[in-house]
Homo-oligomer: A and B are copies of this chain.
């Protein structure tokens, strides 16, 4: 009996699908098929009934699942018994501010549970680190990267603002608009250039740094602002978010690194899962 196959079996059971399990295991779908078939052969039992919408475990599959889970757990425990004695591998991850706590902690949680013997340290993005989660524009020349999230910059307005009634916001609507400038902000430069070219001028009411501060000021009716629209921000139902027509302001959040290490490999896999679903 092969632990690798049992692991595949477990994922299939939890996903109720071969193809989905394949993605989670970072292998091709036929490989999952083969592994399960081999287990079924070895145990002389059919473990899943296959149908057009995935698979459902048979009675035997149901019986195997807790046993397999336990066995894998025990194997992991053995491994950790020895690894935790040794040098805790440390990993320093640089993180840009303002990426949203929830999704970031979800990612880091996956990472730390996949690498239980690792000691993860979060550092500001410019400090020395093994990898960085940053906006694409912040990439250094020597760094390679993988896309994690992509999100548009949206105009955020108080819900009672006149513009919130419009379906589409045009560039010209921005002329003379009360605006809260948040810097540093990658989109700001681009927006400002575009506006200058069109002869449109904003009415800057405040210059601040954090997104949360900006949202607070908008909520207070001080003006509008431009913010990256990630899930955690859009949740604010007491604010209105609008795209600006003909102006695509996007930020790409990437995993940046220079050297590949085993730990980084794991992190890259977690990132891959995020960007694929």
Residues in A lying within 8 Å of B, measured CB to CB? 1-4, 42-45, 60, 63-64, 67-68, 70-71, 74-75, 78-79, 81-83, 85-87
Nearest chain-B residue to A67 (Cβ)? B78
* Chain B neighbourhood of A85, CB < 8 A: 45
Closest 4 pairs between A and B when the two form their complex, measured CB to CB? A43-B82, A44-B86, A67-B78, A1-B75
* Chain B neighbourhood of A2, CB < 8 A: 2-4
Nearest chain-B residue to A4 (Cβ)? B2
State the main secondary structure of chain A at its contact with B.
helix
* Chain B neighbourhood of A1, CB < 8 A: 3, 75, 78-79
* Chain B neighbourhood of A42, CB < 8 A: 79
Q: Known contacts A71-B71, A71-B74, A74-B71: does B44 contact A82 (CB below 8 Å)?
A: yes
Expressed in whole angstroms, the minimum distance between the Cβ of A119 and any Cβ of chain B is: 15
A86 near B3: Cβ-Cβ < 8 Å: no
* Chain B neighbourhood of A82, CB < 8 A: 43-45, 60, 63-64
Nearest chain-B residue to A44 (Cβ)? B86
* Chain B neighbourhood of A43, CB < 8 A: 79, 82-83
